[in-house]
Amino acid sequence: MIPVIMAGGSGTRLWPLSRTAFPKQFLALNSHLTMLQETAARLSGLVSAEPVVICNEEHRFLVAEQMRQQNHKASILLEPVGRNTAPAIALAAMQILRANGGAEEAPIMLILAADHVIRDTKAFQQAAMQLLPAVKAGKFGTLGIVPTEAATGYGYIKVGHAESDALFAVEQFVEKPDLPTAQQYFSEKTDSGVNKWLWNSGMFMIRADRYLAALKQYRPDIYSACEQAMAGTAQDYDFIRVDETAFKACPDESIDYAIMEPLSKAGGSEILVAPLDAGWSDVGSWSALWDIANKDENGNAVMVGGDLETDDVILQQSTNSFVSANSRMVTTLGVDNLVIVDTPDALLVASKDKVQDVKNIVAELKAQGRNQHHQHREVYRPWGKYDSVDHGLRYQVKRITVKPGAKLSVQMHHHRAEHWIVVSGTAKVTNGEKTFLVTENQSTYIPIGQVHCLENPGVIELEMIEVQSGSYLGEDDIVRLKDQYGRA
């Protein structure tokens, strides 16, 4: 059984913490682990195979670093563009069959989203194991969430006859209902007392060959496009790249529409569902995060990040609110039912009842050409990160962190000069024809047009301040002459 973790998506409803360049699956929202890392950790004891992680080009180094931190040697499959879950899973199935061509049994995919919370790992693993024998025999399996309320934000699965004590045939997949329909679904039970309708979690267990056969039957256009994309794969460090032109021609479709709905309408018991009651949440909004968070006696939940401590949030005469602080002290007085999310470059204050509309703010930022929807002030790179501390008309100040052994590209700038001051660690600097070491409290100056490079030869992180000055300070004024990470 090979995990397939889908780590695409932008998570706009958790803005300003989640952004296009750093969406929610890479954030630590539920524990000290990121949501991607939690998903991988949840598999311990259930599977021994390393996962296949599907992500987009922009997030490839984030995935590689977060999996490395957990000692996972994942295969990272890059989507040139987003085409929804049906094509993404097809790419994974083709890669798995290619890599396991000599296996005696057809590989089984355990398909998971990277951004879900599951409180009860044992219950999740038990439900997955209950599906395994039927999936080995060629059935399609899914995990259906036992509903806790009449929710309108999820698709539903209609439960059919019992195949065993723990498995049921799937009669129907339906889209997100209106409230009266959701209330009806929530109240209906089978003769045995099981919920007649379960939430569609988007978690599936399917044999790789069976998935591709069904895709070829019901959506040959998607199958053909993915087959052509995989014919042009290339290995790039930790990443598997597919043919961009072929994949861009692939239709955009979910696994539900492409495979599950046609199979359920075909009759029989091709799809089985295992009901899962394990404290599941897709963390689709700030109110959903408040729902699963630990709260004080007044119903307030607090999340802190960066260098802050819990006592940097002070709540007085405040109730049923959620506060996320990441860069400074946040206090409230006499408020109720609010969401407050503070980051170094953006602040969200919203009624908890309106957080589903945060995506409208993101759309407005895009329309205005603002950058706050795309990335944080602190930006991650394969070699480390930088934080834009201050900027003005002709200057910019950055705090740069370079990981041990990491090296920035050999580059030059047409419009700016740079002054580097080492705060801690040791920098190996190439400045024109010279290469030398710069240690704590020392500095060097890079003139406009000078070819230069920065490297951390030490075993601790390199921390330095970069002061840029010039007529143009944009990130696109970087001419990379050589780069070990394969960036243009």
CA angle 472, 474, 478 (to 5 degrees): 100
CB atoms within 10 A of CB 150: 16
Spatial distance between the Cα atoms of 91 and 227, rounded to a whole number of angstroms:
8
The CA-atom distances, in angstroms, between 478 and each of 60, 92, 379 are: 20, 35, 16
Q: Cβ distance 9 to 116 under 8 Å? A: no
Buried b / exposed e along 81-111 (16+ C-beta atoms within 10 A): eebbbbbbbbbbbbbbbeeeeeeeeebbbbb
Q: Cβ distance 425 to 457 under 8 Å? A: no
Collapsing DSSP to helix, strand or coil, 151 comes out as coil
The CA-atom distances, in angstroms, between 151 and each of 9, 120, 183, 287, 337 are: 22, 21, 8, 13, 19
For residue 235, the model assigns a pLDDT of 83
Which domains are delineated in the chain? 2-281 (3.90.550.10), 286-367 (no CATH), 378-482 (2.60.120.10)
Buried b / exposed e along 156-165 (16+ C-beta atoms within 10 A): bbbbbeeeee
What is the full per-residue pLDDT of the chain (488 aa) written as tens digits? 999 999 988 778 999 999 999 999 999 998 899 999 999 999 999 988 899 999 998 899 999 999 999 888 899 999 999 999 999 999 999 999 998 876 778 899 999 999 999 999 999 999 999 999 999 999 999 999 999 999 998 999 999 988 888 899 999 999 999 999 999 999 998 877 888 999 999 999 999 999 999 999 999 999 999 999 999 888 877 799 999 999 999 999 999 999 999 998 877 689 999 999 999 999 989 999 999 999 999 999 999 987 778 889 999 999 999 999 988 999 999 999 999 999 999 999 999 999 999 999 999 999 999 999 998 888 888 899 999 999 999 999 999 999 999 999 999 999 999 999 999 999 999 999 999 999 999 999 999 999 999 999 999 999 999 999 999 999 889 999 998 887 76
The residue assigned the tokens 């949501």 is 35
CA angle 356, 361, 362 (to 5 degrees): 100
